[in-house]
Structure 1
Amino acid sequence: MFDKDRYLTRGVSEEIPLEIQILLWSMIVGIKIKKDYLQVFEIEPIKNRLLKIEHRQEIPKYKKGHVVVNTGINSKVKIFVIDDGEYSTMMLSSEY
């Protein structure tokens, strides 16, 4: 799962810096347990030019927090990454 073609929506392309997009894909690849078809990322700017990223999935339960340097996200955003078996798509929650 999440190892075939990868796509992203216009919203992600326009609002999420490339470095963060790559980081989110790598977080999915790095999961050591079975991956759910839906990966959820909640991203929130915090003090000192940092981002708090919460990565989670439902089945099996997985949740991990990360803090990284903010490269251009100014407000809280939720991102879904969905794998349908043929390809994976990264999208803003508002585009779902």
Structure 2
Amino acid sequence: MKNSRLFSGDRYATRGIADRIDPAIQKALWRAIEVRKERGDQLDYLQVFVLSVEVVDGEPLQKVLNRQEQPEHRETFYVDGVDKPIGGVTIWVIDSGTYATMLFPYEY
């Protein structure tokens, strides 16, 4: 599958993601993939997002580490508009070639 086609199809989230992850966070993860595509980054079919909370000036912020294996990539960003940041959560976004699914690793 050509890299430019990765993450170009329909997008889905599992029930677990829909129930547990703030929509603002879900949108930010999809947007992070879009931004990387726009930059021309080479994307792996598996994007890993690790969520944590960072306190800055007494305010909790949603911190996200995006990583992939091939080619190796690591990038950290923050998500605005999250009322209750969450930590200790890993989310996968997998491209099947036809569609992409956001899920927890244990849902695979």
CA distance in 2, matches of 1:95, 1:46: 27
RMSD between aligned residues: 1.3
CA 1:35–1:52: 2 relative to 1, 3 Å = same
- Secondary structure of the corresponding residue to residue 47 of structure 2: strand
Give the fraction of aligned pairs with identical amino acids, expressed as a percent. 39
Question: Which residue number in structure 1 is paired with residue 3 of structure 2?
Answer: none
CA distance in 1, matches of 2:98, 2:86: 33
Task: Give 4+ residue runs of structure 1 displaced > 4 Å after superposition.
Answer: none
Segments of structure 1 that go 5 or more residues without pairing to the other structure are: none
Segments of structure 2 that go 5 or more residues without pairing to the other structure are: 1-5
CA distance in 1, matches of 2:78, 2:92: 19
Q: Is this contact kept in 1: 2:28–2:79, CA < 8 A?
A: no
- Secondary structure of the corresponding residue to residue 53 of structure 2: strand
Question: Which residue number in structure 2 is paired with residue 54 of structure 1?
Answer: 65
> Which has a greater percent of helix?
2
CA distance in 2, matches of 1:4, 1:71: 30
Matched, 1:95 2:100: no
| TM-score (norm. length: structure 1) | 0.91
Q: Is this contact kept in 1: 2:91–2:105, CA < 8 A?
A: yes
